[in-house]
Structure 1
């Protein structure tokens, strides 16, 4: 039964403060999630993100299936990073670090997601058949939306990688 990791890095043409203001606002998550997922925040929005914040979403990870997803913001270091962890939802385990740092000409944003699917070997099969592809699509959509909003910083290279842990 596999544990997986996604690492995504993107260089944006904005200040770290601008990136933090946008990325640390859970209300903006819908803006960077593909519309076909029908992502909706049901509860837990707050003006400022804080450790212990519980956010309840409804999402359709694939056509004909809707599920609730509850995450907790477990760590926040203002202007640098925050971590969300699934408390209830489609994954057996989900731990997502969001990091930002200043680079020449802008901000580097990095995501590190460690996750595990339910159902043991069936979950691993689903990962190979469609979950990995869907996660790639979600991160590609997100990258495009953030580039549209902030532009691309000239320094550094963008990355997206998956590995089985």
Structure 2
């Protein structure tokens, strides 16, 4: 099962980084290049424990839908989302947040299993793992950009 682990240093408060990471609105911004939109479940604002979101996006020239559910939630330390329905055989994305002296370390652990047995494993090696890593890196760059500026105020609730 492929595993992607990313560590992102963000010069911002952990609470802001945590909320940006679960923001449906920020996710939409980070995936504009795939025409991703939330079409069911939590479609705006912040997603929380036991809530789902269904995304529709264009990957590899084909529109696909994927539903994920937040299965673990400990604000502002960790949350996990897992695929309920979609193109993968399964996936699990653990988001961890650690205080640093002058910011936050965001650690993503993304594990997935492609469908189609050996063909899926070949796709992982040839292009899928790199593609998924690129999507996660873009997402984290967007979180960092918003968290380290006042732009986070545009997407997070005022309270």
Which TM-score tier does this pair reach, normalised by the shorter chain?
A: 0.7 to 0.9
| TM-score, structure 1 as length reference | 0.82
Distance 1:109 1:126 in 2: 28
- When you count helix as a share of all residues, which structure comes out higher? 2
Which residue number corresponds to residue 138 of structure 1? 135
Where do 5+ consecutive residues of structure 1 fail to align? 152-165
When structure 1 is superposed on structure 2, of 94-103 and 35-44 the one drifting more is: 35-44
Q: 1:142 to 1:15 in 2, by over 3 A?
A: same
User: Alignment partner for residue 94 of structure 2, among 97, 100, 120?
Assistant: 97
Which residue number corresponds to residue 82 of structure 1? 79
Mapping for residues 11-160 of structure 1, pairs under 5 Å = 11-33=9-31, 35-45=32-42, 47-63=45-61, 65-151=62-148
- SS of alignment partner, residue 139 of structure 1: helix
Q: Are 2:3 and 1:9 aligned?
A: no
Where do 5+ consecutive residues of structure 2 fail to align? 149-159
Deviation at 1:91, TM superposition (A): 0.7
Distance 2:117 2:102 in 1: 44
| TM-score, structure 2 as length reference | 0.85
Q: How many residues align?
A: 148
Deviation at 1:47, TM superposition (A): 4.7
Deviation at 1:29, TM superposition (A): 1.2
Deviation at 1:48, TM superposition (A): 4.6
- Kept in 1: contact 2:24–2:45 (CA 8 A): no
When structure 1 is superposed on structure 2, of 135-144 and 111-120 the one drifting more is: 135-144
